[in-house]
Amino acid sequence: MTLALLFPGQGSQAVGMGVALADAFACARDVFNEVDEALGQKLSTLMREGPEDQLTLTENAQPALMAVSAAAARVLKVEFGVGVDRAAFVAGHSLGEYSALCAAGALSLTDTARLLKLRGQAMQRAVPVGQGAMASLIGPKTDLALAEAAAKVGAEIGVCVVANDNNAGNIVISGEKAAVDRAIEAAKELGARAILLNVSAPFHCPLMQPAADEMAAALAAATINAPVVPVVANVLARPESDPEVIRRLLVEQVTGRVRWRESMEWMAGEGGVTRFAEVGSGKVLTGMAKRIAPNAESAPLNMPEELEAFAKSLG
């Protein structure tokens, strides 16, 4: 068995996430307290009690999702003796790449929390609310070629690109509102269904360049160590362990495409991964894994009993 650990991104947040871990394990509570201290806010209380609209704010959702992933990884290590080094690779979807780097020891928990808080704020600042949009193109006819063709039509009147290549049947476009609207019409004509996403900014497109510039400055000052296992980077869809390359890729990731389908295909193919475990809130990546790599085992790890069963299954 070859294992890869996956770390979820925005959209997996929910009020109550991490509560079962915090109630069951002191080491999980320690993680949440450390994140609260790093940010100077009671993020753990927001995660436990809501309100949902505050938790969903990008600047809160990003560090909160990371905190749950970090807590789950810490419980695996401290309570069940399963370190991240048992995996061949780690990978995270968008902000989840920071969670993966934190779990693999490349970034400290404090630095990761602060970087993600800034990342969320910078992304929100980059484009005034209402000027940008994102849309999910879905359905059996939806593939990368269709999405790129639709985005190209949108790009005739403004910025519009493929932002997230999640899996066949689920691809996200991003850009200026009018351009995305035009791309949606084109996608429908090509046989896809399209849903405007309830997001506060158009992530992973050139409009995010101001946020990328802010993150470049912040990351330049951050300590990045070599991860204990390679991190499959969003913008490369290949593993990377060099700290300076990782620093550059995290900047590129702000405006660049999340190449998740390709990342998963590489791990299940050349990487030889036969088992995927999603560490953190929700099970979005588990669902994607089952579609992209149906021959591999995949399961979410966010409840105490799931972590315990997973650790026992490793022997």
CA–CA dist 38, 54 (Å, integer):
19
Q: Does the N-terminal peptide bond of residue 51 adopt cis geometry, omega within 30 degrees of 0?
A: yes
Active site residue 94: yes
CA–CA dist 271, 3 (Å, integer):
10
Contact indicator for 292, 278 with CB cutoff of 8 Å = no
The single-letter code of the amino acid at 253 is: Q
CA–CA dist 249, 240 (Å, integer):
9
CA distances from residue 107 to 66, 83, 146, 170 in whole angstroms, order as listed: 12, 16, 37, 31
> Which residue bears the tokens 């269709």?
146
Given 12, 69, 94, 99, the catalytic residue:
94
What burial class does residue 93 get, using C-beta atoms within 10 Å of its C-beta: 0-12 exposed, 13-18 middle, 19+ buried?
Answer: buried
Given 136, 174, 204, 263, the catalytic residue:
204
Contact indicator for 151, 183 with CB cutoff of 8 Å = yes
Active site residue 93: no
Q: Which residues are catalytic?
A: 94, 204
